Amino acid sequence: MAEINMQEQINEINRKLDLVLSEINSQRLKREEVSDLVDDLTIIGNDVFKNTVQTLDNAGVELDYEALNSLLIRFVRNIGTFNEMFEMLESANDLMKDLTPIINQVGIDAIQKMTEFEEKGYFAFFGEAVKIMDNIVEHFTPEDVSALADNVVTMMETVKSMTQPDMLEAMNNGLLVYKSMETKDVKEYSMWKAFRAMNSPEMKRGIGFMITFMQKLSKSLNE
């Protein structure tokens, strides 16, 4: 029984030794492969370097090995900077991928809105408005525009007063009355008939309005 256990232990030890030897052999093969790769790359690098030097020499270019060495050192020293730059480029690329659908949608919306404006006649309206501006420029001098600028406040105050509800109502009433009158066949009034008409309440109120208006206008002009 003891001999059987001893044999099993020996077999187990041999199995483990085989595994260790196999791993050692595998590591040796990898080292040899790496060594062969390094040797091959060294040969290729030397050939490339020699060919580059020969090509530059034939082209009349002299290498400054100190400058080249300094460049390599700076390159290695700034690897972190290059990594940051590439990360920024990747971020910008991702941002463009995210923004592309939005930009496309904005473009589509803008085209649709322009089409809507064209259908409603906005462009035609602005085209005619440009003609209005052309006529203004042709018929008014810079001095006229300067005078307009000097009096624009007064003009705006006048427009403001004219657009008050009571003023608009008064002007509208006057226009309605004028529109309802027969201007082509106006009745003739003699002096006596006119004098009698002036005694009517309507004419008295009208005369009173005109006199009051003229008095206030004269007073405002004299102030």
Domain count, the chain: 1
Are 27 and 37 contacting, i.e. CB atoms less than 8 angstroms apart?
A: no
**What is the model's pLDDT at position 3?**
62
Q: Is the dihedral of CA 129, 130, 131, 136 positive or negative?
A: positive
Ranges in the chain, pLDDT < 70:
1-4, 53, 56-57, 60-64, 183, 223
Q: Is residue 198 assigned to a domain?
A: no
Tokens of residue 23, six digits: 């791993």
- Does 133 fall in a domain? no
- Residue 42 within any structural domain of the chain: yes
What does residue 189 show for φ and ψ, rounded to 5 degrees? -120, 130
Q: How far is 199 from 205, CA to CA, in rounded Å?
A: 10
Q: How many Å apart are CA 144 and CA 152, to the nearest integer? A: 12
Domain range for 42: 1-59
The DSSP code for 59 is T
- The C-alpha atoms of residue 221 and residue 81 are separated, in whole angstroms, by 80
Residue 41: inside a domain, yes or no? Answer: yes
pTM: predicted TM-score of the whole model, two decimal places: 0.34
User: What is the reported pLDDT for 63?
Assistant: 64
Q: What does the pLDDT read at residue 61?
A: 66
- Asked whether residue 87 is assigned to any structural domain, the reply reads no
Residue with tokens 């580059």: 52
The answer to whether residue 50 sits within a structural domain is yes
What burial letters (b/e) apply to 191-208, b meaning 16+ CB within 10 Å? eeeeeeeeeeeeeeeeee
Helix axis angle, 122-139 to 79-120, nearest 10°: 90
Q: For residue 1, what pLDDT is reported?
A: 55
Residue 57's H or E segment, with its range, is helix 2-58
Asked, for residue 8, whether it belongs to a domain, the answer is yes
In a domain, 191, yes or no: no
Please report the pLDDT score of residue 32 as a whole number.
Answer: 78
